Amino acid sequence: MPSAALIYLYNAAPRHEPYSTIDGSPHQDIQSYRDANVMQIDYSEKEPLNREPPVQDLISSFITYNNAYDRNHGGIPHCGDDHIVKVDGAVKKELFLSLRDLRTRYKQHEVACALQCAGLRRHTMRTFLKEVSGIDWGDGAVMNCIWKGPKLKDILNEAAIDLTFEETGHVAFACYYTKVQDDDWYGGSISLSRAMRDDADVILALDMNGKPLSANHGYPVRAIVPGIAGCRSVKWLQRITVQEKESDNFYQQYDYKILPPQAIDAEAAKQYWQITPGLQDMPINSIVAIPRNGEIITLPSDGKIQVKGYALPYGDQGPVTKVEVSTDEGETWVDAKISEESKRGGKWSWALWTASVKLSRGKEKRIFSRAFDAGGNTQNPNPSWTLRGVGYNGYGESRNLIVQ
């Protein structure tokens, strides 16, 4: 494993305010801001690796082969081929599944889906609304990959779920290999109903983009729960438990929740953690990747420029059906063209889009994007603030543009 990695955090600054680096120090010009936000850190099996790529690189490919973000609360374990996944809890038959079992005992399914950090676009919430708690994620904490492995429902059917119709079930995922920042192990859970839906495509992924998972992304096996926040797709999966309550792990109970606005700080939040459900389905979203924030644009003779970005559907209500772009503060909108690959990608994938739009000369110009999906959802022009900065889905935006 390499001893160091580059972490790219390209975080857009608020309109009319100086660009600030990750540590909060101001940079008045955009180039020094970008330079300050390319950080190099050392990491090991004991230290969390958290990074995202420049979004302009991210959208260069419909399938994310080389620019996948990393989100971890603890070190990256290096697991052996003797790895076992235990299935227990409210089941009639406990299972102890080897990697060979997972590959040969069950039908293998491929699922193309976008996996996104719950804190995607947290920086925008922080700078446009008010301060939040959490890593300063920009627009790059998402990846669109092809995952392959057995469906969770097939495994649970073999284990024979032992809950009555009246009992509300959950499926908890756990990894015990490394101690994490706020707990002795990492875990998360989803509803049993979601796990057992054939069309929900929840799998235990062994492969990513046609190759075995890398250590960074969960080798030898991880949960993949399409449409749901990436924090529930537990990596280095060791245990699957059917139970009547959500996971009791810290990150299910005291993180990754959209707290009410009354939870203004850590102290005020204490009364809401236990009564607020954990974040599951991610909201519909889109971002403008090109042009970059603060870019100087020379207009061609026809006055039009190419705008590019990505869009994500709400939870299980994909695919993205339309993306619109505005260059006049949302007064009028132009339809973007969704790529052919995106149209074939299925309900769980992101959509890459391009739009040719007219732009007038001047400073501090802005370009907005908004997405629509098959469920009738669209982006929120006035998103609410929440303490943990998760689930932000205001209009996509490129700002502080200088057009000459």
What is the spatial order of strands in the sheet that 296-297 belongs to?
296-297, 396-403, 362-373, 320-326, 334-335
Q: pLDDT band at 44, cuts 50/70/90? A: low
**pLDDT given at position 13:** 27
- Of 202, 200, 72, nearest to 147 (Cα)? 202
Whole-angstrom CA distances from 65 to 4, 117, 143, 147 are: 20, 17, 9, 12
For the chain, percent of residues with pLDDT exceeding 90: 86
* C-alpha span between 276 and 376 (Å, rounded): 26
Write the CB contacts of 267 (distance below 8 Å, at least 6 apart in sequence).
none
- Of 333, 273, 335, 283, nearest to 312 (Cα)? 283
Helix (H, G, I), strand (E, B) or coil at 105: coil
pTM of the model: 0.88
User: Are the C-beta atoms of 228 and 356 separated by less than 8 Å?
Assistant: no
Tell me the per-residue pLDDT of 108-147, one tens digit each, with 9 for 90 and over. 999 999 999 999 999 999 999 999 999 999 999 999 999 9
β-bridge pairing 19-20 and 207-208: unpaired
Helix (H, G, I), strand (E, B) or coil at 157: helix
User: Are the C-beta atoms of 302 and 318 separated by less than 8 Å?
Assistant: no
Q: pLDDT band at 24, cuts 50/70/90? A: very low
Tell me the per-residue pLDDT of 233-277, one tens digit each, with 9 for 90 and over. 999 999 999 999 999 999 999 999 999 999 999 999 999 999 999
Kindly tell me the number of DSSP H helices and DSSP E strands found in the chain.
9, 24
Tell me the per-residue pLDDT of 192-226, one tens digit each, with 9 for 90 and over. 999 999 999 999 999 999 999 999 999 999 999 99
* C-alpha span between 317 and 228 (Å, rounded): 11
Looking at 2.60.40.650, 2.40.170.20, 1.10.150.130, 3.40.50.150, the CATH number of the domain 285-403 comes to 2.60.40.650
> Residue 19, class by beta-carbon neighbours within 10 Å (0-12 exposed, 13-18 middle, 19+ buried)?
buried
Give yes or no on whether 84-275 and 285-403 have one common fold.
no
For the chain, the structural domain boundaries read 4-58, 84-275, 285-403
Query: Hey, what CATH class is 84-275 in?
Result: alpha beta
In the numeric block, the tokens 């070190």 are attached to: 75
* C-alpha span between 390 and 277 (Å, rounded): 13
The helix (run of H) or strand (run of E) holding residue 64 is none
The helix (run of H) or strand (run of E) holding residue 114 is strand 108-116
Whether 35 shows a pLDDT value over 60: the answer reads no
User: Are the C-beta atoms of 9 and 23 separated by less than 8 Å?
Assistant: no
The helix (run of H) or strand (run of E) holding residue 42 is strand 38-42
Gyration radius of the chain's alpha carbons: 21
> DSSP secondary-structure letter at 99?
H
